[in-house]
Chain A
């Protein structure tokens, strides 16, 4: 009987080898493995006959069965390797037209240049330790003017032609600067105060360089011992971080009702046949000074309006126009571009 089993094992091996040569896919290979070597496979079927093999032959037949199984497994594994290599080789034959355009998940989105510039300025200010506060766009005369040392009938009000809204009994206006936020914050908390207030502001004015709505970032720092030197030091930091090192900056006396002493800061530009650019490191002489922001030491009248002791604390405030910065940065000629929302404009920046 032992011979019969040995013969069957031989046939099984030959059959498996023959079939293996025809197999070209991993799935077929798996099916083959199951058919020959599986729990209910052909090899198992043969080995069930082991009971009929005489005891003396059993070791021989058993060895032979193990050899056949091992050989078959080795062949199957080898064939699997071959198939894997072949399939990689086949995959590698593919050649795409690399010049076809890519498939984009969406068209390009854009952050409005006003927000881009605001974000830049705010990032610098928060790095320098300023908190961000916002406030309403519709304001009271008290917050927008009176608390900022601009009483009614004061010529300083002409600097900011105001849009008023119909609000029944209470007099309301569209804030002409974000300075009312300073007032709100100072009314709500004691010094020290170190804040910036970004936002939209409104003036009754419209031409190439004036828009009835524009954006400001206004800063305020109030504490014991804050001086004009600190104002200069801080704003030089802000400007250098904004425009890069080596810029030419000048502080020029000016007037704002809510600060005293007041200053305007000009940036030095060099103009030549190629246009205008920032004059850096004194390498090129300044030909034009462009006003970039207004600032000054907080007027004692403002401290008085919010109940701070003007003899104990001092502070500085500054305000810069986002559109103006953006116009300088990107060479934009007309402030109205920001509000037309023409995609041909927005998608450039």
Chain B
């Protein structure tokens, strides 16, 4: 809302206050002045009016705020009725068929108008307020709308078929309607229409029709001033995406009892600017007058909410300055709120008004006395904190991506057996879906950073993903990581090799340690198809899979133009949170030394290392406390079908030192067990 100060000064005397001081005054009372624009010698306040204050969508309304703030008197807006000739009853009939949607409808007819431009001063003032001058008739309606906040519409009287206006809601027969901006709109049942005998001539409260718009040769006009139900106007305006100065005011609520003032003011301006003679009387259908609201108000509530005792005299004075009437019955008052303030309905609304005008800055701050209580944190946050901190220490950069992405991109990252959820009203034209995996974001970002010269990167993200569940949308947190390029920082000293599957697997193992998960199986089936089928795995704890890791599929590596393939992993955070365990008790440190014995084997190249290690672990030798693979060789020195593996086995007794003989015996049993149960050869 743009408020030219010369216009404001017509209604309120703010003395010697500078424009900046007026702006500050308003801002500190909730009418935020975003900036002061200077055009020529005019200063214009650009006000941001909150949706609860339709009364401030007018110069007079702003003037009322200034008067309240400066505690000066605001003279009532003068009702000037231009004398006319002839009765409107002979020339226009109005019927309201939708009394719940149109609560008041007033109209007056003016004949013999001369179309033309408005006086230069009017045009300038309209321009300052942000409205383009068009002609005397339209300008008069806009001028009054800006002044009083009541939208008006002018019909070309000759276009009203049958001289009969009906206000009704759209029925089956009403399909389409062209508004005066040239746009055709599809109507739906419930849209409120202004109709003549034959057809709709305006979308009530939103915009007039092209068929009844005033033209250059218009000589007679019907001026409409009405009060429509705010929610009716809003529903249609919202659905059609058609927001006008008029609809903005109607949907917030104009003053139903200001309809006639505005009609007469517009008539007077129109006659002054373009000549013509109005009818002697006017139509005013107002079957059920809207009475000012009476609000019971317990004054003690003021202190309960604000904390400070505003004196009853001051509170009363503030309410009266705002246009309320106050009847005192001891500590309970009855406050009658003016109809131009539809936002004043409840005691709390009055408390806000009193605080607002009293001044928030006059309410001293106080620290509440609180009773200490246990602090709650969301489940899994501490565990996440640990993981995120550890990842950061390992050189990972945390990413934050949008929760959704274009469907075309999402299609590259399908999650098995997951139905994605689409946005109903995405930002652009593109179909958009909620993410089912965080990996898509990390991969796209890796590609972006690669274009900026980052061939190596480590990044992670922790946030929810979404899927269509049986009953509702399911939301579950994931922790995703990506590694690409060099294994060590680029330097003069480190090996320059690049990460491979075992780097991401090692990271998963670490993450399992951090979260207290036990990985018992690496499963190659069921991995998402955006991973390389031979270089990826699901990792499982005894209850099942809780994530996957692997190399990005070569097709995607090619698509994004990666130089070296990214390796990704994604953990199901809800599984981690519910299944991860942290040590709860201290386990005494063994007092007796451990002994290491190594075993070197030649095995078939296809034999999984886990088979051998597993065979050792399942032997049930209680002194055998650890099995670690420490060497793997495939190459020239062996036949092509073979590989050599070497394990370090640790033996330890909890209660005494093992003798060499004892260790040798167990180790010998272990070696024989392997030879007997697997096709392995011991290498010397």
Contact = CB atoms under 8 A, between A and B. Distances in A.
- Residue in B356, B394, B441, B473 whose Cβ sees the most chain A Cβ within 10 Å: B473
A175 B609 CA distance: 49
Interface in B442-467: 445, 448-449, 452, 454, 456-459, 463-464, 466
Nearest to B248: A155
A341 B401 contact: yes
B51 interface: yes
Interface in B320-379: 346, 348-349, 351-352, 355-356, 360-361, 363-368, 370-378
A170 B397 CA distance: 38
B396 interface: yes
Q: Nearest 8 A-B pairs (CB), nearest first? A: A227-B307, A253-B30, A106-B395, A229-B307, A255-B50, A109-B392, A232-B365, A131-B376
B454 A261 contact: no
B366 A227 contact: yes
Given A230-B368, A233-B368, A297-B348, 18 more contacts: A110-B392, A131-B376, A131-B377, A138-B466, A138-B473, A165-B421, A166-B421, A168-B468, A172-B472, A202-B403, A213-B403, A228-B360, A253-B356, A260-B352, A261-B351, A300-B348, A341-B397, A341-B401
24 contacts: A106-B393, A106-B395, A106-B458, A106-B488, A109-B398, A110-B398, A137-B403, A138-B466, A165-B473, A167-B421, A167-B473, A194-B370, A227-B366, A228-B306, A228-B355, A232-B363, A234-B367, A255-B30, A260-B351, A260-B352, A261-B360, A300-B346, A339-B402, A341-B449
Given A131-B375, A155-B251, A213-B402, A344 B423 contact: no
B304 A112 contact: no
A91 interface: no
A136 B474 CA distance: 9
B366 A229 contact: yes
Nearest to A251: B360
Nearest to A112: B398
Contact of B400 (A112, A138, A225): A112
A174 B425 CA distance: 11
B586 interface: no
Contacts of B472: 167, 170, 172
B651 to A, nearest CB: 29
A300 to B, nearest CB: 6
Contact of A299 (B348, B392, B452, B492): B348
A321 to B, nearest CB: 14
A195 B373 CA distance: 11
B352 A129 contact: no
Contacts of A176: none
Contacts of A225: 304
A221 B368 contact: yes
B352 A261 contact: yes
Interface of A: 100-101, 103-104, 106-112, 114-115, 126, 129-134, 136-138, 153-156, 158-159, 162-168, 170, 172, 174, 192, 194-195, 200, 202, 204, 206, 212-213, 221, 223, 225-230, 232-234, 236-237, 250-255, 260-264, 297, 299-300, 314, 338-344, 346-347
B161 interface: no
Contacts, number: 246
Contact of B399 (A137, A159, A229, A341): A341
Contacts of A129: 370, 372-373, 375
A226 B401 contact: no
A2 B445 CA distance: 92
Contacts of A346: 397-399
A237 B392 contact: no
A163 B372 CA distance: 39
Given A133-B376, A251-B360, A108 B402 contact: no
Interface string B267-291: 0000000000000000000000000
